[in-house]
């Protein structure tokens, strides 16, 4: 009947809801409840054994914690240095891989994607050996050309660029595959028409490729931003946050408070601040990207 209430329609179609009930059940137990409970924990001084409600005290302490601000700055540095390079390098690499005249194209595509499926721990160990000041291959090559050794892992200045190098190697190939999928959806006749009109390779790239790849570039930028603020394994293995906490990320700071100092309430407060930062950045990027696309 047309006058059926919402509840009556649900009852009539209850059999369909049986199929989606397991998802909502598992989502509530393993996703929604932990998220809400972690916020409750952030309002407590909780060590895992004892708990005392202290309200917003953890957030107040966090805003006055110099180590938190240092780890946040380190994370922002990695984000600002990492994301533009990854987006630009992956787009250029995708354009090269989209060229059908390149020999052994399938091998190159597979090779550039392999770093993504390689264990992060193994990658961190290998890079720590490559960048070692005394025995690393990179410093050995620098000496061969007459340059001084660079303390990649023991310098407060070079520790963050070392992580950026690792992240570039690991993520450019993965993002180039995403870019490549977007490039293959561009109509080749656009390039043919531009070439007839006398447009060069660079003009075709800036006037056709980049504008039409806008949504893909926005997606890669947002995903890379979220990933940059969740970096943990790479700096943990490569520099262990040092020297002098110069490469400690906000997620490493959270790990320190939660699993080494057992300040679970404080760690939960950190996680919610991190969530708000990522949410704000994602919304801003989405707004800017949507405005450029005219959406």
HEC assignment per residue over the chain: CCCCCHHHHHHHCHHHHHHHHHHHHHHHHHHHHHHHHHHHHHCEEECCCCEEECCCHHHHHHHCCHHHHHHHHHHHHHHHHHHHHHHHHHHHHHHHHCCCCCCCHHHHHHHHHHHHHCCHHHHHHHHHHHCCCCCCHHHHHHHHCCCCCCCCCCCCCCHHHHHHHHHHHHHHHHHHHHHHHHHCCCCHHHHHHHHHCCCCHHHHHHHHHHHHCHHHHHHHHHHHHHHHCCCCHHHHHHCCCCCCCCCCCHHHHHHHHHHHCCCHHHHHHHHHHHHHHHHHHHHHHHHHHHHHHCC
Give the Cα separation of 29 and 31 in Å (integer): 6
pLDDT tens, residue by residue, 161-196: 999 999 999 999 899 989 988 888 888 888 888 888
Q: pLDDT value at position 1?
A: 46
Lowest mean pLDDT among 6-15, 128-137, 275-284: 6-15
Domains and CATH numbers, the chain: 6-58 (no CATH), 67-293 (1.10.3720.10)
pLDDT digits (tens, 9 = 90+) for 265-287: 999 999 999 999 999 999 998 88
């Amino acid at each position: 009947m047309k006058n059926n209430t919402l509840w009556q329609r649900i009852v009539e179609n209850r059999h369909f809801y049986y199929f989606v009930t397991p998802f909502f059940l598992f989502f509530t137990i393993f996703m929604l409840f932990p998220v809400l409970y972690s916020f409750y924990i952030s309002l407590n001084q909780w060590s895992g054994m004892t708990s005392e409600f202290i309200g917003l005290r953890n957030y107040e302490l966090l805003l006055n914690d110099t180590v938190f601000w240092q780890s946040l700055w380190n994370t922002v540095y990695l984000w600002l240095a990492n994301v533009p390079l990854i987006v630009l390098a992956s787009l250029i690499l995708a354009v090269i891989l989209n060229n059908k005249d390149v020999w052994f194209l399938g091998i190159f595509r597979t090779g550039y994607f392999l770093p993504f499926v390689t264990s992060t721990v193994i990658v961190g160990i290998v890079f720590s050996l490559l960048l070692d000041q005394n025995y690393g291959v990179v410093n050995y090559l620098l000496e061969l050309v007459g340059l001084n050794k660079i303390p990649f892992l023991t310098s407060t200045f070079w520790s963050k660029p070392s992580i950026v190098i690792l992240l570039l190697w690991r993520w450019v190939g993965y993002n180039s595959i995403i870019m490549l999928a977007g490039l293959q959806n561009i109509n080749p006749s656009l390039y043919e028409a531009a070439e007839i009109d006398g447009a060069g390779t660079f003009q075709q790239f800036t006037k056709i490729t980049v504008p039409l790849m806008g949504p893909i570039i926005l997606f890669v930028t947002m995903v890379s931003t979220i990933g940059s603020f969740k970096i943990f394994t790479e700096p943990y293995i490569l520099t262990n946050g040092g020297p002098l906490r110069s490469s400690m990320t906000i997620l490493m700071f959270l790990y320190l408070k939660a699993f080494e100092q057992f300040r679970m309430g404080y760690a939960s407060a950190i996680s919610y601040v991190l969530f708000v930062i990522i949410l704000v950045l994602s919304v801003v990027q989405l707004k800017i990207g949507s405005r450029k696309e005219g959406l």
